[in-house]
Amino acid sequence: MEVQEPQKSRVVVIDSPQSWEFYVAQATNQNCPVIVHFTASWCMPSVAMNPFFEEMSSGYQDALFLTVDVDEVKDVATKLEIKAMPTFVLLKDGTVVDKIIGANPEEIKKRIDGFVQSIRVSVA
């Protein structure tokens, strides 16, 4: 019987303002869209969105998926004016293009789809 390797997560956990700057700068240089899940360990709707976010990340190989715990990386959350969890932020060239507040998988998927498609079109 073959043992299934657990799939490596495509979601990068941001643990400091430095790692945030590094990944966003790298994505900007590569013209890569960034999708960020701002979460908090005490926020149940946020925690419930983790598997969904993980699933989304595997569907968009050409986008960078980041997760930021607002309590651990306050500076980034403050800079992007994150007031509620979960909040999903779509970045292009390091700039916020869209912000989705709340745990609404349908809406999040629709907005990420549109966002990634628009970038593919502008690059092509």
Provide the pLDDT for residue 119: 80
Give the Å distances, CA to CA, from 5 to 8, 9, 25: 9, 12, 31
The 3-state DSSP class for residue 87 equals strand
pLDDT digits (tens, 9 = 90+) for 58-110: 999 889 999 999 999 999 999 999 999 999 999 999 999 999 999 999 999 99
Distance CA 12, CA 68 (A): 9
Give the per-residue pLDDT at 5.
47
What does the pLDDT average to over 19-40?
Answer: 95
Query: Quick one: pLDDT at residue 49?
Result: 96
pLDDT value, residue 122: 67
Flag whether pLDDT at 2 surpasses 80: no
Residue 92: helix, strand or coil by DSSP?
A: strand
